[in-house]
Amino acid sequence: MSNKMLTLMMGFVAFLILAVGVVFLIALAGGGDDDDGSPADGGGENNRSSTSGKICDGKSLIVPGDDPSSVLDPIQVADVSTAEYVVEIFGGLVTLDPDLKVQPDIAKEWTSSNGGKTYTFKLRDNVVFHSGTAKRVTANDFKYSIERAADPANASPTVLAYLGNIVGLKDRFQNKASSVTGVKVIDETTVQIDLVEPSDFFLSELTYPVAYVVDKEQIEGNARNWTQKPRGTGPFQLKEFKPAEKIVLAKNDRYHLGVAKLDEVVFELAGGSILTRYENNEIHIGGFPATQLDSIKSGQNPLSDDYREVPEMAVFYFTLNPQKAPFDDPKVRQAFAMSFDRQNINTVLLYDAYRVADGFMPPETPGYSESIKSYSYDPVKAKQLLQESRYAGKLPRIVLTYSGSGSAAPDLLVAIQKGWSDNLGVEIELQAVDSSAFLREQRKGQFQMQSDGWAADYPDPEDFLGKLFASDSSLNYARYKNDEVDALLRQARIETDRTKRFDLYRQAEQKIIDDATVIPTFWPVTHTLVKSCVKNLPSAALVIPKYRYVEIKDD
Amino acid sequence: MGPGLAGYIIRRLLWAIPVLFLISITVFAMLRLAPGSPIDAILGQRYTEEQAAVLRDKYGYDDPLPVQYVKYIGNLAQGDLGVSTRHRDFTASEIIWPKIWISTQLGLIALVIVFGLGIPVGVYAAMARGTFIDPLTIAFWLAIEAIPTFVLVTLTSWFFALKLGVIDLGYEGVWTPNMTVPVLVMSLPGVAGVARFMRASVIGVLGEDYIRTARAKGLKEQTIVLTHITRNALLPMITVIGLSLPGITTGSLFVEVGFGIPGIANESLQAVLAPDYDVILALVLFGATLFVLANVAIDILYGFIDPRVRVGAGRGQ
């Protein structure tokens, strides 16, 4: 090794090794500190982030997002991940404000006549589609949009559920008619919609994307690809869409309800360590693992100041198939409902991540009533009920199916399984089924017992109770049928007096819970972190157009 | 490089066709027969038979399986990889090529680092055998290799982004400073393997007669190490490099998920979970094709480096 050249080469390698070694040793040593969990260490990091203004300077909001699982076409949206974008890009006659109240959007006012069966909307005359064409939205655009939604060739998954009450819509959807007779263009700025039966929640239904207005010219000009650059009327327009990478929405300078204060909203879709990136001031809104919930909520964590709890208008529940043994006996169902301690599970296991569901509809739902009571934890009574049931001492094999992948079952299910085992002496098998297969089997009513969830699309009891428990609803996968409940729900559907209507739903809800075909367990909550320079971000329990209110301002 | 070689290459490539057919049939059938379908995933809780029928018709899932397969192959022959059902606005090509390109660039950078570092380290360790430097060098790189990738991802993001504050973690393109850490995490654990392989190879060469001859001739040590030892020891390394080439296009799952890089490994995982039939098939076929091509390429490369294995040379065999 006497040669210069060789020495140089070896020296270079040795240097590289040394450099990498030093860096990693420091990293490891630092990592050791962190494992001690000294809060002071974390505090130092956060101070850096709250004083650093690197993302608090501009007018661009950067948030983690989900890949839309559908196309950006209002009539195809059936999921929250796609609705997030569609409600910002498109708009309809009416919209929801941050308090979830129905407000004018393209319609500036409306009247209801004919006993609540006819709605007449007067449109604004200054609403234009995106993309500089400045094409005005008229009554004809609404007629086109609703008829397009009802066109069976377009197979909208939601049109029947939300607009099925419009006269002639079902006929169009079943190809028995060539137009939707209930939607009439009175003049350029007046649309009249006739309903089959009076409805107090029709306006709420109109806030769902399927009722939004689309640009006929664009769709007919580019039937295959228009959703990659859709022209809507919403507060933002789609600027960039790279699947699984990012979606960029840019403000609509001509938005009729007030131009957004942000220039753009960047949704980052590729994932990564959200919390680290949040702490590093790369994104404005972040999340964190459940294990940190306790310390963040209690205010000990440096991130506590940024913590925000957003309730979701959704519910988790178990469905016990009343057509399969042993759940054809109500006593068995009640025994199951009483024998796991939701409060305890939530506190001990879930860091209080959820709210214990006292009823089916969460408190954010209009018409929510505190008087609804679900079965409380009562192991003694549960055991007694099981003894009295037809299946006392001879329970068949019971399988609880949930949507998920193979590995370990969620802690929550394991804890509830343990409750049934401890209190009833019943061993339940947990079965994970891949999500799409789960949905298929669910439709066929194959499961004996399953773990379910439902998220509202518009704020009304009808969207929970009518959709899931009316025996004629296509979404009643629980195969629930109770004549009294059916009568109440039918009556509620056409009642136009809101107080009376909510009272009917209240009665129906209590009966549904008493039947114990469904056991509501928890109302979910979204736990997020929001940088302090992000002002006026609405915390709505539903997907609503919200980014136009937001302003980035350091204080 | 006579006609013999060309014939050999053509024969090898022709053999690839039945292999790819077999793979495509198997994967195609496995996907279609597995529980769950893209239609269920698309319609979710609001599934109705009417909507499912329209979608099945649109995607051609109503045809019998053999018909679907033949149609698929027909389209494939024209370069049409089908449509994505997970990203319903896009074709499978629009999804996979940009993502493969992202992963490939990162993989290439990592590959250069792995071999660029691994080969000299291996030579260094071999030349220093008998001293403490040899086991120490190898042990150091083995220690890095021993750290699980997901630990390395967490550790490095925390250290470089939060502790030092030198870089950001978000993906903003391959050739940005943000990719430094992901590339290091992809490459450093691979150095040990290459170094050990190279070390063994060099030690093997050191015992050869021609090395002793070279020394006896009084050649400079530099010439001996660089020309005689390293060049000969590199020969088996060709296979290693060649076989790792297809791998760089598939990306590193932990790194892509951990750092939020929109590469192909991330996409493959989601495609399988979706399921996204055409994207999965396209990825499998792409991977298989590359593997076959890499094998052929290695055989040819061998010929350049060592005339003794040159195919169809017709002399000295």
Q: What is the pLDDT of residues A195-230, one digit of tens each?
A: 999 999 999 999 999 999 999 999 999 888 898 889
C-alpha B108, offset from chain centre: 9
Q: What is the pLDDT of residues A75-96, one digit of tens each?
A: 988 888 899 999 999 999 999 9
Does A236 or A350 have the greater pLDDT score? A236
Q: What is the pLDDT of residues B36-67, one digit of tens each?
A: 788 887 777 777 777 788 888 888 888 899 99
A275 touches chain B (CB under 8 A): no
CA distance A177 to A172: 5
CA distance B236 to B302: 9
Q: Residue A385, class by beta-carbon neighbours within 10 Å (0-12 exposed, 13-18 middle, 19+ buried)?
A: buried
- From the list A123, A103, A182, the residue with the least C-alpha distance to A149 is A182
- From the list A108, A66, A79, A111, the residue with the least C-alpha distance to A91 is A108
Q: How many CB atoms lie within 10 A of CB B1?
A: 12
Contact A104, A94 (CB under 8 A): yes
Please name the residue that has the structure tokens 């964190």.
A288
Q: In chain A, what residues touch B36 (CB-CB under 8 Å)?
A: 434-438, 440
pLDDT value for B315 = 46
pLDDT value for A95 = 96
In the beta sheet, which residues pair with residue A316?
A: A453, A522
Cis peptide before A461 (omega within 30 of 0): no
Q: pLDDT at residue A29 above 70?
A: no
Half-sphere exposure for B307 (CA within 13 Å, toward CB): 5
pLDDT value for B237 = 86
**A23 CA: distance to closest CA in chain B (Å):** 10
pLDDT value for A23 = 62
Please name the residue that has the structure tokens 């063994």.
B200
Residue A232 token pair: 């809507």
Contact B162 A279 (CB under 8 A): yes
Contact B195, B137 (CB under 8 A): yes
The partner residue sitting opposite B35, judged by closest CB among A1, A21, A437, is: A437
Amino acid occupying residue B308? R
Q: How many CB atoms lie within 10 A of CB A136?
A: 15
pLDDT value for A24 = 58
Contact B247, B255 (CB under 8 A): no
**Percentage, residues of chain A above pLDDT 70:** 90
Amino acid occupying residue A164? G
Residue A447 token pair: 């499961």
Nearest CA in chain B to A72: B89
Q: In chain B, what residues touch A20 (CB-CB under 8 Å)?
A: 144, 188
Residue A153 main-chain phi, psi, to 5 deg: -65, -25
Nearest CA in chain B to A438: B36
The partner residue sitting opposite B257, judged by closest CB among A3, A9, A271, is: A271
Cα B114 to Cα A40, B107, B244, distances in angstroms: 38, 10, 11
Q: pLDDT at residue A334 above 60?
A: yes
In the beta sheet, which residues pair with residue A527?
A: A309
Contact A353, A290 (CB under 8 A): yes
pLDDT band at A17 (very low <50, low <70, confident <90, very high): low
The partner residue sitting opposite A243, judged by closest CB among B87, B156, B169, is: B87
Q: In chain A, what residues touch B267 (CB-CB under 8 Å)?
A: 244
A333 SS3 class? helix
Q: What angle do CA A506, A508, A509 make, to 5 degrees?
A: 65
- From the list A268, A118, A259, A120, the residue with the least C-alpha distance to A195 is A118
Q: What is the pLDDT of residues B77-113, one digit of tens each?
A: 998 999 998 888 789 999 999 999 999 999 999 999 9
Residue A240 main-chain phi, psi, to 5 deg: -150, 140
Please name the residue that has the structure tokens 């870089």.
B167
Give the start-end residues of each E strand in A287-339.
Answer: 307-311, 314-320
Q: What is the pLDDT of residues B14-31, one digit of tens each?
A: 888 898 899 999 999 999
A191 SS3 class? strand
A286 SS3 class? strand
Chosen from A273, A278, A472 to mutate, greatest number of chain B CBs within 10 A: A273
Does A212 or A53 have the greater pLDDT score? A212
Residue B241 main-chain phi, psi, to 5 deg: -60, -45
pLDDT band at B306 (very low <50, low <70, confident <90, very high): low
Contact B46 A272 (CB under 8 A): no
Contact A528, A308 (CB under 8 A): yes
A171 touches chain B (CB under 8 A): no
Out of A320-334, A437-451, A489-503, least confident range: A437-451
The partner residue sitting opposite B120, judged by closest CB among A13, A435, A474, is: A13
CB-defined contacts A:B, below 8 A: 186
Reported ipTM: the value is 0.82
CA distance A336 to A330: 10
Q: What is the pLDDT of residues B128-170, one digit of tens each?
A: 988 988 999 999 999 999 988 888 988 888 888 888 888 888 8
pLDDT band at A31 (very low <50, low <70, confident <90, very high): very low
Nearest CA in chain B to A434: B36
Residue A382 token pair: 């549960």
Amino acid occupying residue A3? N
Q: What is the pLDDT of residues B202-232, one digit of tens each?
A: 999 988 888 888 888 888 888 888 888 888 8
Q: pLDDT at residue B35 above 80?
A: no
The DSSP code for B91 is B
Q: pLDDT at residue A444 above 70?
A: yes
Give A176's contacts (C-beta < 8 A, 6+ positions apart): none
Amino acid occupying residue B204? G
pLDDT value for A12 = 64
pLDDT band at B242 (very low <50, low <70, confident <90, very high): confident
The partner residue sitting opposite B221, judged by closest CB among A1, A241, A433, is: A1
Residue A34 token pair: 């962190």
CA distance A389 to A187: 65
pLDDT value for B309 = 60
Q: pLDDT at residue B249 above 70?
A: yes
pLDDT value for A45 = 40
Out of A137-146, A308-317, A496-505, B236-245, least confident range: B236-245
CA distance A105 to A96: 9
Contact A271 B87 (CB under 8 A): no
